[in-house]
Amino acid sequence: MEPHRHETHPDIVKRLKRADGHLRSVIEMIETGRPCLDIAQQLHAVEKAIAQAKKTLIQDHLDHCLDDAVGMLDQDRRATIDEFKAITKYL
């Protein structure tokens, strides 16, 4: 079976590696007794990086895999799929 890859996957990996580094930093901060405000700021960075990676993955899936799955559609049905893809950007 051929690996499932999209153009955005390297960017997603980069974001997740950055989040991993931040998370390791948070653990160290907690273990060394750093102030809660500093820890919360780093946790926020981890959360944002993971959320952005997830959003990118889902959008990429919708933009590519959904089209492959539904195939050719008439204009009315195509409009419904396009509207669905557009509205998910607000999640």
- Specify the 3-state DSSP secondary structure of 85: helix
- CA 1/CA 21 separation, integer angstroms: 32
Domains of the chain: 9-90 (1.20.58.1000)
What's the mean pLDDT in 57-64?
85
- Predicted TM-score of the model (pTM): 0.75
Residues 6+ apart with CB under 8 A from 46: 19, 22, 23, 26
Please identify which residue in the block is written with the tokens 């930093």: 25
Q: What would the pLDDT profile of 15-40 be if each residue is shown by its tens digit?
A: 999 999 999 999 999 999 999 999 99
What's the mean pLDDT in 60-78?
79
What's the mean pLDDT in 43-69?
87
